[in-house]
Structure 1
Amino acid sequence: MTRSSAFDWILAPDLQAVFDLLLQDGDEARVVGGAVRNSLLGEKVDDIDIATTAEPSVVMERAKRVGVRAIGTGLEHGTVTLVGDGRAFEVTTLRADVETFGRKAVVRFGRDWEEDARRRDFTLNALYLDRTGKLIDPLGGLEDCLARRVIFIGDPDLRIREDYLRILRFYRFHATYGAGTPDPEGRAACLREKEGLKHLSAERIAKELLKLVAAKGAADSLAVMQEDGLLELLLPGGANVQAVARLQGLAAEGTLARVAPAVALAVLVDGGEAQLAAVADRLKLSNALRERMVGAHRAVALWDDLRRDRPEVDLLRVLRRMAFDLGLEATGDGLALVLVRAGEADAQAIEDARRGLGALTGVSVPVFPLAGRDLMAAGLPAGPALGVALKRLQAVWIDSDFQADRAALLAVLGTGTPE
């Protein structure tokens, strides 16, 4: 088979060097999964994973001999990460399950490529590529991949029981790569096995859910999950799938450059900060994700407050104030939420928010030009009065639309106004 130009990346020198390392003493190696699938579908190729018959200890030893950095990232499951020229390749020895119970499956290493393929999740992920770019399809997954069908390998119920996270992966892969409606057999299996989601760690659920909500087809997959009662197991307080559809529409039309996972989750969880906190606790989200979700909601409230009773709002002034209070990222997230929530009757809010998103690239976060030492140098003694004066001067600076400079503010201090 002639190599497709979609697979030209296979010839990269650093990847070929990894093949040189692995293809020794009768061992074989092939790129597997995401890189092959994405190339066939015209999607971006990020990580390149490699399957090999060489056992992990052998891979580590060969890497050491030629000076390639090798990290035992999952030796019990046969995974070694090789790093060359700044790029990492995850190399995993062919495996066959001896006993399966979620992530703690007992495996043995092997040399049977079809057996290795049959233990994977979906047919579109069981596609391999040799070092020349020849496609190898042991289970007939190519047809499913090109048709954008997400199909479990073998018995869907058994695949799910091996790892209940595959329920979320089924919907996430359909949202990312699928066409039409989810596979009926796969969907039915997910519905039958949905109670297994309760056995997954919060961190694993969160990681998969954040990928799902930001996928281009998220709204349709989430609607199916909601209909089947899966979302209520994951998100306390309910979910607003229609809002996610509107967010995706903003990205599709170019109003948003991309859909950030935290913003998509904040849109889906549309019950205010209390529900956001409950979801963040349920999913054990990082502080950074919590802050971004809450920041988006607070930006909406500040936007509404700054625009209230001001039909001729000075948009740039509002944006500068929001950027100063909450930061540029939260300001943009908040404007996206405004557009998601705005009804047809609030045409002015929609117009202002769209203009605001467009103008935000030209806005920088204002920096207050004074510090406590400046007031002390001007003769104000240290103590509580210093903080009061600094706060009052900052209010004057904000009222000036952040235009008053250091000299002007110190002049105000001399008048006694801030006392």
Structure 2
Amino acid sequence: MSTSARLPRAAWTQRASLAKLVDALGAQNVRWVGGCVRDTLLGHEANDIDAATRHLPATVIDRCKAAGIRTIPTGIDHGTVTAVLSDGSVEITTLRRDVATDGRRATIAFSEEWRDDAARRDFTINALYAHPETLEISDYFGGLDDLAARHVRFIGDAATRIREDHLRILRYFRFVTRFGDSWDAEATGACSELAATLKGLSRERVGQELLNLLALPDPAATLAKMRELGVLDHVLPESGRREVDQLERLIAAEKHAAIATDPMRRLAALLPAIPPVAETVAARLRLSRSQRSRLVCVARREISDGEHPRGLAYMVGMECAIDRLLIGGADAAPIMGWELPVFPLKGGEIVARGVGKGPEVARILQRIETLWVEEHFPPRERVEALLDEELAAR
């Protein structure tokens, strides 16, 4: 149904490029939808602009071409065409209704009814449509009231919506963390009941959704709720109460140190300090090689990390050192903004002192470097003295 509510005239709604797109498609055949409407109503910046249209994808392409707008058929099988505009792309999706679903993908049919399209979306706050010219909002399922109350609610029966797409379990927790003030009893009950269905999803999708959740400002209470409901057991079974509490302490430490949030650091906090476990999780979630290396490095953390933070940073790298210090409850301030020094000794200098080329040079070099780090990176003169002592001892 339409409402008397209107979308505020945010800067993005007045872009000339969007007006050109609307002219090409016809204002009666297009609506702004989803996150751009929701975020603008909340006073947030809208980063991605999405549109719904009555036109079939081929018609969208033809009309845009006639108007000089380039398009990319990014998801044409599901009705999505991307219009490439001068100040950002817009995804345009033909109105759809679900014909069949299996929890991982849906078979859809195109529709000409805005309500059909709204009915297949996940949450009421994501099913708000705005007229591109009048900015009048169409709200079919009470999304405006839910947005005002900061209440995240599934459209229709929660269990039914989750059975259509199992990933909606994790999306629910992410959206509550970002937009909600309370838990919806029906939603949490359905998420708990159907948590095992997450195992049928690709691990990449689960991993990405988990990292999206961990990237939010403060997801600690959400992870605790997921553990309480048994959902976390099917996403990250390696994470128990101790690790969830550890995440909460990490987030507090990040805030105290004014350090930017980092989802990989937070994922590391949700794992025990056991490198093989980190390896297993990285493989299961299909993380990149660099992400895997980071998890394993953090999993090697020790109680002594905080005793010489700059030495730790020198040995394992700045990123891993910050992670280990914060997770371990140590002060990361000594390495913030600090530049890693360069070891002022080369192997050739040891050879010049009479040591034959080979493993012995490498052993001496490593020994001197270790002492240099332990002594907090003294100047070149001290390094030469350490070398003198080492060679004299031989």
Per the shorter chain, which TM-score range?
0.7 to 0.9
Cα RMSD (Å): 3.0
1:30-66 per-position Cα deviation (integer Å, ceiling 9, x unaligned): 2211122222233443222222223222333444455
Q: 1:417 aligned to 2:365?
A: no
Further displaced range: 372-381 or 221-230: 372-381
1:199-255 per-position Cα deviation (integer Å, ceiling 9, x unaligned): 11111111111222343452332233222222112223342322223333344x543
C-alpha distance in structure 1 between counterparts of 2:230 and 2:158, whole Å: 19
C-alpha distance in structure 2 between counterparts of 1:129 and 1:288, whole Å: 42
- Paired residues of 2:7 and 2:37 also in contact (CA < 8 A): no
Counterparts in 2 of 1:102 and 1:73: CA distance versus 1, 3 Å: farther
Q: Identify the match of residue 165 of structure 1 among 144, 162, 167.
A: 167
C-alpha distance in structure 1 between counterparts of 2:48 and 2:314, whole Å: 38
C-alpha distance in structure 1 between counterparts of 2:145 and 2:221, whole Å: 23
Further displaced range: 391-400 or 372-381: 372-381
Further displaced range: 188-197 or 396-405: 396-405
Q: Which amino acid aligns with 1:288?
A: S
For residue 116 of structure 1, report the CA deviation from its aligned partner.
0.2
For residue 77 of structure 1, report the CA deviation from its aligned partner.
0.9
Pairs aligned (count): 387
Q: Which runs of 5+ in 1 are unaligned?
A: 308-317, 340-352
- Paired residues of 1:174 and 1:217 also in contact (CA < 8 A): no
Q: Which amino acid aligns with 1:47?
A: D
Q: Identify the match of residue 357 of structure 1 among 332, 339, 346.
A: 332
2:32 counterpart residue number: 31
TM-score by length of 2: 0.85
- Paired residues of 2:8 and 2:40 also in contact (CA < 8 A): no
Q: 1:52 aligned to 2:78?
A: no
**1:293-332 matched pairs, under 5 angstroms:** 293-298=295-300, 300-301=301-302, 304=304, 307=307, 318-332=308-322
1:98 counterpart residue number: 99
1:81-115 per-position Cα deviation (integer Å, ceiling 9, x unaligned): 23333623222221111222234311122221111
1:142-190 per-position Cα deviation (integer Å, ceiling 9, x unaligned): 101111111111121221111111111112211221112x111111222
C-alpha distance in structure 2 between counterparts of 1:305 and 1:114, whole Å: 57
Q: Which amino acid aligns with 1:334?
A: R
Counterparts in 2 of 1:11 and 1:376: CA distance versus 1, 3 Å: farther
C-alpha distance in structure 1 between counterparts of 2:19 and 2:75, whole Å: 23
Counterparts in 2 of 1:393 and 1:74: CA distance versus 1, 3 Å: same
Counterparts in 2 of 1:359 and 1:410: CA distance versus 1, 3 Å: closer
**1:6-405 matched pairs, under 5 angstroms:** 7-21=10-24, 23-24=25-26, 28-85=29-86, 87-132=88-133, 133-180=135-182, 182-239=183-240, 240-251=243-254, 253-270=255-272, 272-298=274-300, 300-301=301-302, 304=304, 307=307, 318-339=308-329, 353=330, 356-371=331-346, 383-405=358-380
Q: Secondary structure at the match of 2:89?
A: strand
Q: Secondary structure at the match of 2:72?
A: strand
1:351-410 per-position Cα deviation (integer Å, ceiling 9, x unaligned): xx3xx33343331122234555676788876543443344344335434533434x8757
Q: Percent identity?
A: 39
For residue 285 of structure 1, report the CA deviation from its aligned partner.
2.3
- Paired residues of 2:100 and 2:108 also in contact (CA < 8 A): yes
- Paired residues of 1:53 and 1:111 also in contact (CA < 8 A): yes
- Paired residues of 1:123 and 1:152 also in contact (CA < 8 A): yes
Q: Which runs of 5+ in 2 are unaligned?
A: none
Q: Which amino acid aligns with 1:327?
A: G
C-alpha distance in structure 1 between counterparts of 2:354 and 2:16, whole Å: 67
Counterparts in 2 of 1:77 and 1:398: CA distance versus 1, 3 Å: same
- Paired residues of 2:75 and 2:81 also in contact (CA < 8 A): yes
TM-score by length of 1: 0.81
Q: Secondary structure at the match of 2:51?
A: strand
Counterparts in 2 of 1:10 and 1:103: CA distance versus 1, 3 Å: farther
Q: Secondary structure at the match of 1:362?
A: coil
Counterparts in 2 of 1:410 and 1:217: CA distance versus 1, 3 Å: closer
- Paired residues of 1:54 and 1:93 also in contact (CA < 8 A): yes
Q: Secondary structure at the match of 2:46?
A: coil
C-alpha distance in structure 2 between counterparts of 1:64 and 1:408, whole Å: 71
C-alpha distance in structure 2 between counterparts of 1:367 and 1:268, whole Å: 34
Q: Secondary structure at the match of 1:212?
A: helix
- Paired residues of 1:237 and 1:271 also in contact (CA < 8 A): no
Counterparts in 2 of 1:127 and 1:386: CA distance versus 1, 3 Å: same
Q: Which amino acid aligns with 1:281?
A: A
- Paired residues of 1:11 and 1:131 also in contact (CA < 8 A): no
Q: Secondary structure at the match of 1:417?
A: helix
C-alpha distance in structure 2 between counterparts of 1:51 and 1:178, whole Å: 25
Q: Secondary structure at the match of 1:81?
A: strand
